[in-house]
Amino acid sequence: MDAPSAAPPTIIDAHCHIATTEHTPRSFIDGAIANMVTALVAQGVRASPKMIASMYLQKLQDPLCDELAADMAEAGIAKSVLLVPDFTYALKDTPLTIEESFLKHREVLLRHPGKFEVFGGVDPRWGADGIALFERSLKEFGFRGLKVYPPCGFSPSHPDLFPYYELCAHYRVPVLLHIGPTSPALSFETTNPFMLDEAARRFPTVNFILAHGSVSFTEECAMMCSHRPNVYLDISAFQSTLRADGSGKVVKTAVSRGINHKVIFGTDWPVFRLQGNQQSFVATVTREDGPLADLTPLERELVLHKNIERLLANARTAVPERATA
């Protein structure tokens, strides 16, 4: 009699976005497309900017996350974290205000109960109104964290962010911040993970997640995770480094540093939808000979779901189903 097959692992994708142009400036998208075209031309692929733009924009037509929920089910992803970067101060061609974006994300929470969490972001230069909106997202909308986007032109340790971090400490929710390059529409000057150090020291009870930490500034991210108790990293955008064999080499490097209690799975959906779907990205990371092959069962669980679950476990935020309009 055959032995029963092992149960599939529990997976939480801690880095996703709504696939729509409503929340993202066209200048940001055009910059990302320009990079895609340059890369394809360098590889000898004949691709016009118009064709790539059309293909990419077709993948940004899921404003209620119905396609994402279906992809998650197919890939065995139990839950995803939706991130709301605030581009509205830096890039004036953002279609929605940040408050409108928050309300759209709350709608997704209500439409797909239990499938999503949301980290809301507000540019700190919006002042008191931004702080009030962020607190409202925790108290009323059921959001579970803060998204910080330094390429919009500020340091993650800028004093204007301290009131946000104080709210995160009070409501016991984590902060996820972008590090490394982004669309050429924005600056890279403030994306070094060391720029977080002051905030990490000032707010020791707030947990900070360095997005894309297995891809950008990898040595600096690993050092921060090793020596700052409240700093973590996610592996999102690992797809940008995949070779033809889909080896996931950067993930293997990230989980070989002795910080697997700090490493968090993420895909950055829908950024890489032209390269594959969630099932293919999960398979790259979890296959038997993949980058997690040398980990203990506990370490695999930490990376795939337990680390992010631990950071969300004590949140004192609203239940989305009961949030007020």
The pLDDT tens digits for 46-75 are 777 888 889 899 999 999 999 999 999 999
- Mean pLDDT of the 169-186 span: 97
Which regions of 227-308 does DSSP assign to beta strands (E)? 231-234, 263-264
The answer to whether residue 52 is domain-embedded is no
Q: How far apart are CA 270 and CA 216, in angstroms?
A: 19
The pLDDT tens digits of the residues spanning 222-271 come to 999 999 999 999 999 999 988 756 778 999 999 999 999 999 999 999 99
Q: How far apart are CA 121 and CA 112, in angstroms?
A: 21
Number of CB atoms found within 10 A of residue 99's CB? 16
CATH code where residue 153 lies: 3.20.20.140
In order of 15, 27, 60, 98, the CA distances from 88 in angstroms are 20, 12, 19, 7
Helix (H) or strand (E) holding 175: strand 175-178
**Which residue is it, tokens 């340091």?**
155
The answer to whether residue 45 is domain-embedded is no
Number of domains in the chain: 1
> What is the band of 7 on the pLDDT scale with cuts at 50, 70, 90?
confident
Length of the chain: 325
Pairing relation of β-strands 175-178 and 11-16?
Answer: unpaired
Which residues touch 169 (CB under 8 Å, ≥6 apart)? Answer: 203, 205, 206
The answer to whether residue 300 is domain-embedded is yes
In 3D, which of 217, 138, 120 has the Cα closest to residue 175? 120
Which domain range does residue 98 map to? 11-25+63-322
The answer to whether residue 35 is domain-embedded is no
- What is the pTM for the complete model shown? 0.95
The answer to whether residue 44 is domain-embedded is no
In the β-sheet with 263-264, what is the strand arrangement from edge to edge? 11-16, 77-84, 116-120, 145-148, 175-178, 208-211, 231-234, 263-264
The answer to whether residue 57 is domain-embedded is no
Specify the pLDDT at position 151: 98
**Which residue is it, tokens 């990376």?**
303
In 3D, which of 322, 325, 323, 315 has the Cα closest to residue 81? 315
